[in-house]
Amino acid sequence: MFRAAEALSMNYYIMRCPMVELIVKDTVNRALQSDPTLAAGLIRMHFHDCFLQAGGPVYDIPKGRKDGRRSKIEDTRNLPPPTFNSSELIRMFGQHGFTTQDMVALSGAHTLGVARCASFKNRLANFDSTHNVDPDIDTQFANTLIRTCKAGDNAEQPFDRSRNTFDNNYFIGLQNKAGVLSSDQTLFSSPQTRGIVNNYAMNEAMFFLDFQQAMVKMSLLDVKEGSKGERKPATEKEGIYTEMLTLLVLIVSSLVIVSGNVETASPQFSAMFAFGDSLTDPGNNNYLTSLAKANYVPYGVDFYQGQPSGRFCNGKTVIDLLGELLGLPLLPAYADPLATGQNILKGVCFASAAAGILDESGQNLGERFSFRLQVQNFESILNQLKNVMDDQELTKYLRSSLAVVILGSNDYLNNYLLPSLYASSYIYNPADYADLLIKHYTRHILALYSLGLRKFFLVGIGQLGCIPNQLATSRPPPGKCVSSVNDMVGQFNIQLRSLIDQLNKSHLDAIFVYGNTYGAFGDILKNPHAYGFTVTDEGCCGIGRNRGQITCLPLTIPCMNRKEHVFWDAFHPTEAVNRILATRAYSGPPDDCYPINVQQMADYR
């Protein structure tokens, strides 16, 4: 079935139209910017043609296909119906030479586009003799589908929450029993394919690679030879159109993978306002007199055009990635002169490297916006918003916005754990210090509440005893973390989770959610290979023991296998870890987010 691949040529267009691929790629790019929903249809066209009449290659592989001599509706019977179970899908794909892994990867194309109600309404009523609704559907998601279908058989339901973004949310949805079609959810329900789904849900890069390889394999399927196909003369207008259309289908898949994001989905919150430290600083400290800056290479090596932005990471922060899941753009840094007018309507990031809950935390590193100052900065942003909204509009806007707080690490790393510079460890025992932090933290949260915010995602402190800096400084036994440090931050997290309950009881018009970064990070460190990581105890960029004694310096050459590293530098995680944490925050179970996750917060009224 792949035997005719030699009939194609890498250089088929080199003489006839050497610029055709660049022309089509540019055309596709502009078309997708205008209408991002085209991506799903074009990928489906490629899938349809390859299973029925053969389509073209996706990446840099042989070109020069012939058109099939027939195109009839009955041929679509060879496509897998939406009711197939995993065994039927494995058998059908296997008949075309695809492995089980190929099949699951190709199913991931459902990360784009929608399904019509007619294809899944059988799951919503009179499902079988014992169940009215398919038991493999999450109850809340089933209610969503039922509401969709009230509009009729042609009503459309996105396959995942980021319908125009090529990502791994499709597989995360399957884990949460939110597959739209039976043929989707069966991939997680079946032991034959569940492991592959879990791998793709945890490791987006693995999905991208396998999808690319499977699409290339599909493009070599049933190539037409001789009289079985025809190639219209390139001098004919119709012939040129056919070839351009074929190339368009070939290129669109690589475009959506390379860009990752065709266009963000409709935002699930009016805006997001982020408060934090270097874990989420998008460049605020670039404008301050501070030693805590990341505005130099190799920071940002995997960010936009490989340029440093001020983010303490090789790529995107957890706030950036959570924003993607929510359909929001990158948040501007508060201190950026461009953070005005229309640029702030979708939110602002106030995070500042070295900042803490306490004003004095991090003062050894120079200027920073402490939590108190970040609240004041938010108030100044509100004054700007009052110029474009009336009181009623602003109230509604703030109530439907998300506030994310990721603070506390510097109150330990750049305060309590530096007895030569700070007296806090002499004055307070760990329990009393955690109590002090929570009292200040509560005061600032209530200040934000008084300013109109009503949806709060309050993130605990991660396992600081496991970061390269602490491993290098305290030198625990190999494979171990600094348990005393983890115990300290654990006490803070326990009190923060308790605060969540108190706030939810006393402020019934708001929702407060605890993000269990400590537990999520611990899971990654305990099971690194399940997430695709091979290095857990040293930075990708740094100097000395554990590459953590001195953090990433200007022009330092970082490791090449960044996606296999948990830590980017002495203190901060890689983008790969940030992506996992963002996903767990967005759609994780109660162990990750208590009492609900961020996705559920969006629907909270």
Q: Which residues are annotated as a binding site for heme b?
A: 110
Reply yes or no on whether 507 is catalytic.
Answer: no
Please give, one letter per residue, the 3-state secondary structure of 360-373.
Answer: CCCHHHECCCCHHH
Question: What tokens appear for 55 in the block?
Answer: 């389509």
Q: Is 572 a catalytic residue?
A: yes
- Contact between 360 and 366 (Cβ < 8 Å): no
Neighbouring-strand partners of residue 513:
457
Residue linked to tokens 């990360």: 111
The tokens of 423 are what?
A: 């007296």
Binding residues for substrate: 80
Report the C-alpha gap between 387 and 30 in whole angstroms. Answer: 34
- Give the span between the Cα atoms of 447 and 452, in whole angstroms: 9
Using CA atoms, how far apart are residues 140 and 467, in angstroms rounded to an integer?
38
The single residue of 162, 219, 278, 309 carrying the catalytic annotation is 278
Catalytic residue among 281, 302, 569, 592: 569
* CA–CA dist 602, 402 (Å, integer): 8
39 backbone dihedrals φ, ψ, rounded to 5°: -60, -45
Residue ranges with strand state E in 239-296: 272-276
Structure tokens given for 306: 């490989």
278 is catalytic: yes
In terms of Cα–Cα distance, which of 421, 415, 424, 497 is closest to 459? Answer: 497
* Contact in structure between 489 and 516 (CB atoms under 8 Å): no
CB 66 within 8 A of CB 231: yes
**Structure-token pair, residue 432:** 């009393």
Task: Give dist(CA 562, CA 314) in Å, integer.
Answer: 8
- Please name the residues in contact with 44: beta carbons below 8 A apart, sequence gap of 6 or more: 109, 113
d(CA 165, CA 18) in angstroms, rounded, equals 31
Contact 72, 20 (CB under 8 A): no
Amino acid sitting at position 199: N
- Point out the annotated binding site: 80, 110-111, 160, 167
User: Is residue 112 within 8 Å of residue 164, measured between CB atoms?
Assistant: yes
Cα dihedral 447→449→455→457 (10° resolution): 20
* CB-CB contact of 404 with 322 (8 Å): yes
Q: How far is CA 244 from CA 324, 360, 462, 527, in A?
A: 32, 63, 51, 47
CB 12 within 8 A of CB 62: yes
Catalytic positions: 278, 569, 572
